[in-house]
């Protein structure tokens, strides 16, 4: 009985914590699933607590199944992991103008070799027009308000695809780079998500 009480206390505490904290500990999740099934079982009358447990649980329905095999490829190069920052949070956010100029600097560093016909127009599209249109997308706004970051990212990517299709009418050059150049597409997707996700509505 003491174990069952402690198991229920853990399940209550973990249920609360898992709803407010990011998912970081797979072992706790596994333990909570196991204990959830365990506490729902009737307490054995016999002294031998393991007696009859195999008959009470249909083990075949809980077997591990391989769903997919994914091969992860990492670049064959030396890499260095930055140390975890020790400074506390609470710093003032970076001013928007500085942030936009940083975005343009990174964009120019990475894609300045592309012969843009109208560089200023492309800069305006990536820092203003496209992020504003994506941020105004209703499905994306709904995901930001009522879901987690992962689902918001999925809706963001769909919204960006819709916006880029609309951009095709005005700027075929950027649209072509977005569709054909994987680096441009990945950079623009990450940048627009970074700009729009923090704008909670």
DSSP string, the chain: -HHHHHHHHHHHHHHHHHHHS----HHHHHHHHHHHHHHTSPPPSSS-TTTTHHHHS-GGGG-------------SS---PPPPP-S-S-PPPPPHHHHHHHHHHHHHHHHTTS--S-HHHHHHIIIIIHHHHHHT-HHHHHHHHHS-HHHHHHHHHHHHHHHHHHHHHH-HHHHHHHHH-HHHHHHHHHHHHHHHHTS--
Average pLDDT over every residue of 78-94: 60
pLDDT surpassing 60 at residue 68: yes
Each residue's pLDDT tens digit, 129-181 = 888 889 898 988 888 888 888 888 899 999 888 888 887 766 777 778 888 88
Q: What is the pLDDT of residues 25-54, one digit of tens each?
A: 778 778 888 888 888 777 656 566 666 666
Q: How confident is the model at residue 104 (pLDDT cuts 50, 70, 90)?
A: confident
The model carries a pTM of 0.45
Percent of the chain's residues with pLDDT above 90: 0
């Amino acid at each position: 009985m003491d174990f069952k009480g402690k198991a229920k206390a853990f399940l209550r505490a973990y249920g609360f914590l898992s709803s407010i904290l990011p998912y970081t500990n797979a072992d706790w999740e596994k333990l909570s699933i196991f204990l959830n099934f365990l506490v729902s079982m009737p307490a054995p009358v016999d002294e031998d607590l393991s007696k009859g447990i195999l008959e009470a649980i249909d083990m075949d329905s809980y077997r591990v199944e391989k769903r997919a095999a994914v091969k992860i490829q990492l670049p064959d190069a030396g890499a260095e992991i930055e140390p975890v920052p020790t400074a506390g949070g609470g710093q003032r956010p970076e001013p928007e103008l500085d942030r936009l100029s940083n975005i343009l600097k990174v964009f120019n560093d990475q894609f300045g070799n592309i012969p843009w016909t109208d560089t200023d127009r492309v800069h305006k599209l990536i820092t203003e027009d496209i992020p504003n249109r994506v941020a105004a997308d209703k499905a994306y706004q709904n995901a930001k308000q009522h879901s987690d970051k992962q689902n918001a990212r999925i809706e963001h990517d769909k919204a960006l695809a819709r916006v880029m299709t609309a951009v095709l009418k005005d700027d075929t050059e950027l649209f072509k780079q977005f569709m054909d150049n994987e680096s441009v597409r990945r950079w623009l997707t990450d940048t627009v998500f970074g700009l729009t996700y923090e704008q909670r509505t």
